[in-house]
Amino acid sequence: MKHRVLVLGAGYAGTYVAGNLARRLSPEDTEIHVVNAEPDFAERLRLHQVAAGQEIETQKLADIFAGTGIRLHLARVTAVDPERQVVAVTGADGATELGYDTLLYALGSHGEDHGVPGVAEHAFDVAARPSALRLRERLDGLPRGGNVLVVGDGLTGIESATEIAESRPGLSVTLVARGELGARLSAAARRHLRLACERLGITVVEHTTVDAVEATRVRCADGTALASDATVWAAGFAVGPIAAAAGLAVTETGRILVDRTMRSLSHPNVYAAGDSVHAIGDNGLPLPMSCATAGFTGMQALQAIMGRLTGSKVGHVKLAYLGNHISLGRRDGILQPVDREGRATPRHFGGRKAARIKEAILRTARWTSWHPTFRLPKRKRHLTAAPQASAAHATPYAPDAPAGRAVA
């Protein structure tokens, strides 16, 4: 039987690794499968733009993988059983199991509610395209002067607040910060951010913790209440419980523990990349959840899988956190470099130039994600040993399933 590589999640990391493996490994002894809940590639770095009402081009995963031989399963992962080497999924055709010999876990993250009452029922987020579209629909229905409250002043909160304020000047936007606005930025970058909020008419509420979200307001820890017709929850991200429930070695927050090559510490045929992985950077500190981290960890996982399957040397990819790129609407931005300890350096870049650089980064990330096999060598490499038989309990794959169709 062919060696089955199963990729869970088709975000920045999963799409890159799947496309590269499909181009480099011979289909005579290897097959690549990808599981993703949505049919489109989610350009997560632009979801705040989607929510604000901008038309952002999308691409079908079936088109991205066309001609690669990758088999795409449109389904939601519900469980992983690393002992049997199967993954339980639920799609349009119901529930089934998919077997694997090598697994790449790249399911990403979702918005973290921190246990605050009312977030699930009343708040919106931009962690996924469906939720961003729900927020957009809500904003479309608000009257002029309607109150939009963004909770969280991390990168997602800042970008969401400024994008909504610029795209919808008829709405009143408030940004709630747990501490000082832009606390992780340099002093000069914080001043730039504050001036941008003033220019866009954003009300900033600092040193405030939200204790509950209600339909028309949020209640704060100090007893005050802030009116809100649409509450955008951007107070952080978390991974799902699937890896921990599977018995994989994980951190307290559920991120998968790996070695330097992104290989699971507990299960050697499982790799992880993107937000799902707890990867230690070259500076000895955990890499943050970000698109850049997805790129670095995806490249490292690819090197490891390719090397071990083909008997070649496993190369080491640079694992670095270089800084933050923050858009402040379409015509302003901040580029904040960091030092080896992840602390903001005194110098930053701001204004239109920073916005143009951020846009170039977004366009590059999009293009490379939509063309995962571009300029890769056409040589197909064989495995060095007889492929390991997949788990006997797994439901067989249809031999000619086209990309874009879930199969059992």
Predicted local distance difference test score (pLDDT) of residue 392: 39
What pLDDT band is residue 397 in, cutting at 50, 70 and 90?
very low
What pLDDT digit, counting tens, does each position of 273-284 carry?
999 999 999 999
Q: What's the rounded Cα separation, in Å, for the pair 194 and 188?
A: 10
Predicted pLDDT of residue 376: 67
Q: Are 189 and 196 in contact (CB under 8 A)?
A: no
Q: How confident is the model over 303-318, as pLDDT tens digits?
A: 999 999 999 999 999 9
Whose CA is closest to 19, among 363, 361, 317, 299? 299
Q: How many C-beta atoms lie closer than 10 Å to residue 306's C-beta?
A: 18
Task: Find the largest Cα–Cα distance for the chain.
Answer: 67
Tokens of 313: 């040397």
The mean pLDDT of 249-278, rounded to a whole number, is 97
DSSP summary character for residue 56? -
Backbone angles phi, psi at 244, to 5 degrees: -65, -40
Contact 181, 69 (CB under 8 A): no
Beta bridge partners of 214: none
Nearest to 220, CA basis, from 112, 115, 116: 116
Strands, sheet with 94-99, edge to edge from the N-terminal-most edge strand:
94-99, 86-91, 71-81, 30-36, 3-8, 102-105, 270-272
Q: Report whether pLDDT(406) > 70.
A: no
**Token pair listed for 154:** 């991390």
Q: Name the burial class of residue 66, with classes exposed (0-12), middle (13-18) and buried (19+) by CB atoms within 10 angstroms of its CB.
A: middle
- Quick: pLDDT tens for 106-142: 999 999 999 999 999 999 999 999 999 999 999 999 9
Provide the pairing of β-strand 256-257 with 277-278: parallel
- Whether the pLDDT of residue 346 is over 70: the answer is yes
Tokens of 174: 């408030």
For β-strands 30-36 and 71-81, DSSP reports them as parallel
Q: Over 90: is that where the pLDDT of 48 sits? A: yes
pLDDT of the residue at 381: 85
Residues 213-224: tens digit of each pLDDT: 999 999 999 999
For the chain, state the CA radius of gyration.
Answer: 22
